[in-house]
A = this chain, B = another copy of it.
Amino acid sequence: MDIKNALADRVTPLKASAIREIFKLLGKPGIISFAGGIPSPELFPTEIWANLLKEIVDTEGSKVFVYGVTEGYAPLAKIVDGINAENSVGKDFDRTIITTGAQQAIDLLIKSMVNEGEGVICEDPSFIGSLNAIRSYRANLFGVEMDEEGICTDKVEEILKKENIKIIYTIPTFQNPTGITQSIERRKKLLELAEKYDCYILEDNPYGDLRFRGEPVPTIKSMDTNGRVIYVGSFSKTLAPGVRVGWITGHEAIIDRVIVCKQVNDVHTPLINQMLVEQFITRYDYKAHIQKGCELYGHKCALMLECMDKYFPENVSYTRPEGGIFLWCTVPEGIDTQPIFKECIDAGVAFVPGSTCMVDIEAPSNCFRLNYSTMPDDKIEQGIKIIGDVLKKYVK
Contacts and interface: CB of A to CB of B under 8 A. Distances in A.
A69 B260 CA distance: 27
A10 B65 contact: no
Given A100-B100, A253-B6, A242 B1 contact: no
Contact of A270 (B64, B228, B242, B264): B242
A311 B78 CA distance: 45
Given A54-B51, A133-B264, A257 B65 contact: no
Contacts of A107: 264-266
Contact of A226 (B1, B49, B61, B66): B1
A79 interface: no
Given A132-B263, A242-B270, A259-B16, A115 B9 contact: yes
Interface string A313-332: 00000000000000000000
A286 interface: no
A62 B50 contact: no
A44 B61 CA distance: 9
B67 A57 contact: no
A218 interface: no
Contacts of A243: 65, 270, 272
A136 interface: yes
B103 A266 contact: yes
The 10 closest A-B pairs by CB, nearest first: A50-B57, A41-B62, A65-B240, A65-B242, A133-B264, A54-B54, A53-B53, A100-B266, A11-B257, A3-B253
A267 B44 contact: no
Interface of A: 1, 3-12, 14-17, 20, 23-24, 36, 38, 41-42, 44, 46-47, 49-51, 53-54, 56-58, 61-70, 100-101, 103-104, 106-107, 111-116, 118, 129-130, 132-133, 136, 166, 198, 200, 226-228, 239-244, 251, 253-254, 256-257, 259-261, 263-273
Given A65-B44, A69-B24, A10 B264 contact: no
A44 B60 CA distance: 12
A58 B115 CA distance: 46
Contacts of A65: 41, 44, 46, 49, 239-243
Contact of A136 (B61, B227, B261): B261
Contacts of A101: 266-267
A252 to B, nearest CB: 9
Given A3-B251, A50-B54, A132 B260 contact: yes
A38 B66 contact: yes
Nearest to A227: B3
